[in-house]
Amino acid sequence: MWAPFALGKQKAGQAKACPYHITDLENAMNNSHYCPHSPEEISEMLAAIGVSGIEELFAPIPPELRAKTFNIPPGMSEFETYARMQAIVADNSSAMLNFIGGGFYDHVIPAVVDHLSGRSEFYTAYTPYQPECSQGTLQALFEYQTAICRLTGMDVSNASLYDGATACAEAAMMGLRVTGRNRIVVDGCLNPFSRQVLKTYLFNLKVEVVEIAPLDGTLNREELAKVLDDSVAAVLVQNPNFFGCVEDFSAIADQVHAVGALLVASVYPISLGLLKSPAEMGADIAVGDGQSLGNPLSFGGPSFGFITAKKALIRNMPGRIIGETIDKQGRRGYVLTLQAREQHIKRHKATSNICSNQGLYALRGLIFLSSIGRQGMVEMAALNRDKAEYAKAQLADIPGVTVLQSAPTFNEFTVFLPRPAAGVVADLLKLGIAAGVPLGDYYDDSANALVVTVTEKRTRKEIDHFAKELEAALCN
Amino acid sequence: MSTYFTKEHEWVKVKEGIGAVGISEHAAHELGDVTFVELPKMDKIVKQFEVLGSIESVKAASDIYAPISGKVVKVNEALNNTPEIVNESAEDAGWMAWIEIADESELKNLMTSEQYEEFLKTL
C-alpha cells in the first residue's frame, strides 16, 4: 500500500513504496511526443521493411522539400494542457453585447440542440464508410434534407456542405456543368467572403467571374441586364444581402432564365420565416450558411452549408444525398442515392471533389428547426425584424448618423457614421459593445459605413444602451 | 444500312447522311442495369471520339463517345424516363442520338460488325 501522507514519518531511503519515480513521470509527460510510437516500435517497423533508419526512409524526398522543423513546443501533460486551454479561453469576451452579423449571427440555441447532438451515437461518428450500416445517421440526414427543402421551398437538398461560402462556389460550379458555359455573374452585394471563396474555387478554371458593383447597397439591375447574355452560366445573388437589404429577385429570375442561365440565391435561413423564399423567386439553386440554425458563434466556425436545387438539377448536385427506400422485407430504410455523381465512382468527372459534409452541424440545424417549428420560425423572424427596426429608429435619431434607406431590411442594416466606422467600433469594444461590421474593408468609399445586426436575443434595454454609447462615442 | 463500332463500345448506323448512335449489347451487358442516360443537347456539335453524353448503371458511370463528327439532330427522349430500354434493346430501341454526319470518311476509323466481334474476343 502506498501511504502518501506518511512520508514525513519515514526515514531517508525508505520511501520505496512509491510505484514510480516522479522524475520518470515528468520525463514521460514532458517528452510525450506527437508521435504515438515508442523508439522500439519505430526500430521494429523500420527493420520489417528493411530500412536502416528514419533518414533512409525519407531519402526519396529531396532534402529541400523536407520540413526543416515542425516548430512545435514540447508535449504537455493532461493537466498542463487543460490549464493552458483554460487560459486561452479566458481571453474570450463572453459578456460582449453583440451587434455583429455579416454572415454569422448570435441566435438562441434551444437546450435540446446540445443535448441531442451530444449523444455519442451522433457526436463521435465520422462519415461511415459503409453508410447503410448507420441507419440513424442516414435517417437524421434525410430528415435534415426534408427540413431544408421545406425552409427554402426548393425540391432537393444534399446532406450539407462545409459552409455558406463553399456552397456558393459549388452552386456556381453546378451552373457551369449544367450550361456548359464559362461566365459567372456575381452581385457585389454577395458576402465578400463568399465572393473570395468563389474566386479561389474558379481560379484555375477557364471561367470569367463578372462582379456587379452595388448600387446603394442593392443589385444594380441595369448593369446586370448589360452583362447578361448566352455566355453566362449562372448569376449569384444574396438575400438579404451584405448591406442587410432585402430584395425580390423574381424579375431577375425571368431575365436570367431568358438567356438560359441559372439563378443562384444565397439566403439567410432565419429570414425565411418572413421573406419570400428562393423557390418563390424562381431561383434554380438556393444555398446558405447553417450557422444560424443552432450552431454557436466560435471564431467563424465550424458551421455547415446547405445547397438545394430544382429537381431537374439533382444529377449535377455535389455531395452526398440520402434517399428513403424499402428493404427486401418491405421495411423502411435509408441509403446513399445517386452516387454516380460522386468521386468514388466518377473520379475526375465527379460533381465535386469535396464530398464530405458537416453532419454534426447539419444535425444541429435539423434539431433546431424541429424544436423551433414552422410557427416558431415565423415568430422568430418577426422578432428579428421588429427589434432591428426599433434599433434602426434609435440609431437614426443620433445626430450625424443616417440609415441606408434604399431597400427594406430584415435584422441587419447599414448606417453611415460621421467618422470612420472602424474607429467607432474600436471605441465601443472597450465598453463591451460589438457594434457591427465596418464596410470599409470590403468596399471603396465606405469607411464610414457600418452594418448593424439585431437578433431576437437583444433586448430593448441593450439596444437603448448601444444607441446611447454610440451617440456618446460620436460626440467625442 | 451499315453498322460501325468503336473500341469504347459505341455503335453508329448510317443512313442517308445520318448516324444513329448507341452503345453495344456487350457494353450494356457489362454495365448492368442502366439507371440514367445523360443525352446530348440538341444541335450540339460533336467531334469523333469526344464525349457525347454519359450513362449510369447500378455499377458505374461512363461517358459515351461520339463515333462520328457532326451535329446532334435528334435524341431518344424515351430514355429519360425508361433508361432500361438500353438493357432490353441496346442496338435498336436503345439508340441515344442521331448525328448529322459531317464527314463520312471518318467511318474508316471504326470497326465493322465482324471486326468488333473479333475485337470482343481479345478483351
**For residue B62, what is the enclosing H or E element?**
strand B61-65
Closest CA to B21 of B64, B56, B59, B60: B64
Expressed as residue numbers, the domain containing B75 is 2-104+111-121
| Residues A457, A469: Cα–Cα separation, whole Å | 19
**Looking at residue A128, what is its pLDDT?**
65
Query: Could you report the per-residue pLDDT of B34-88, keeping only the tens digit for each?
Result: 999 999 999 999 999 999 999 998 878 889 999 999 999 999 999 999 999 999 9
**Looking at residue A159, what is its pLDDT?**
94
Residues A75 and A202 in one domain: no
Q: Please give the residue of chain A at the shortest CA–CA distance from B51.
A: A349
| Residues A387, A376: Cα–Cα separation, whole Å | 16
**Cβ pairs A/B, distance under 8 A:** 14
Q: Cβ separation of A340 and B36 shorter than 8 Å? A: yes
Chain B hits for A315, CB-CB cut-off 8 Å, are 36, 38
* CB burial of residue A220 (10 Å; 0-12, 13-18, 19+): middle
Query: What's the domain count of chain A?
Result: 3
Disruptive mutation site among A181, A314, A315 for chain B (greatest number of B CBs within 10 Å): A315
Mean pLDDT of A371-396: 98
> Which of residues A328, A346, A368 is at a domain's end?
A368
Q: Is residue A132 part of a domain?
A: yes
Q: Cβ separation of A340 and B35 shorter than 8 Å? A: yes
Q: In sequence order, what are the beta bridge partners of A412? A: A453
CATH number of the domain encompassing residue A411:
3.90.1150.10
| Residues A7, A4: Cα–Cα separation, whole Å | 6
Q: Cβ separation of A345 and B36 shorter than 8 Å? A: no
| Residues A460, A455: Cα–Cα separation, whole Å | 11
Q: Count the residues in chain A.
A: 476
| Chain A residues touching chain B at CB-CB below 8 Å | 180, 315, 340-341, 345-346, 349
Q: Is residue A96 part of a domain?
A: no
Query: Could you report the per-residue pLDDT of A233-257, keeping only the tens digit for each?
Result: 999 999 999 999 999 999 999 999 9
Residues A343 and A396 in one domain: no
Q: Grid cell 437538398 — which residue?
A: A157
Residues A252 and A323 in one domain: yes
Nearest CB among B36, B41, B61 relative to A346 is that of B61
Residue B27 burial (CB count, 10 A): 22
Residues A327 and A236 in one domain: yes
Helix, strand, coil percentages (3-state) for chain B, rounded to 5, are 25, 40, 35
Strand runs labelled E in A43-112: 97-98
CATH number of the domain encompassing residue B99:
2.40.50.100
CA A130 to chain centroid, in Å, comes to 27
Q: Cβ separation of B60 and A340 shorter than 8 Å? A: yes
Q: Cβ separation of A315 and B61 shorter than 8 Å? A: no
Q: Is residue A9 part of a domain?
A: no
Chain B hits for A341, CB-CB cut-off 8 Å, are 61
Q: In Å, how far are A305, B45, B47, B64, B110 from B105, measured between CA atoms?
A: 52, 17, 13, 21, 10
| Chain B residues touching chain A at CB-CB below 8 Å | 35-36, 38, 41, 56, 60-61, 63
Instruction: Check residue A409 and report its DSSP letter.
Output: B
Mean pLDDT of A144-173: 97
Dihedral angle, C-alpha B59, B65, B71, B74, nearest 10 °: -30
Shortest Cα–Cα distance, A249 to chain B (Å): 28
Residues A207 and A274 in one domain: yes
Opening angle at CA B95, ends B94 and B101, nearest 5: 175
Query: What's the domain count of chain B?
Result: 1
Query: Could you report the per-residue pLDDT of B93-113, keeping only the tens digit for each?
Result: 999 999 999 999 999 999 999
**pLDDT higher than threshold 80 for residue A317:** yes
Expressed as residue numbers, the domain containing A85 is 21-91
Residues A315 and A199 in one domain: yes
**For residue B10, what is the enclosing H or E element?**
strand B10-15
**pLDDT higher than threshold 90 for residue A339:** no
Query: Could you report the per-residue pLDDT of A106-154, keeping only the tens digit for each?
Result: 999 999 999 999 998 888 866 667 888 889 999 999 999 999 999 999 9
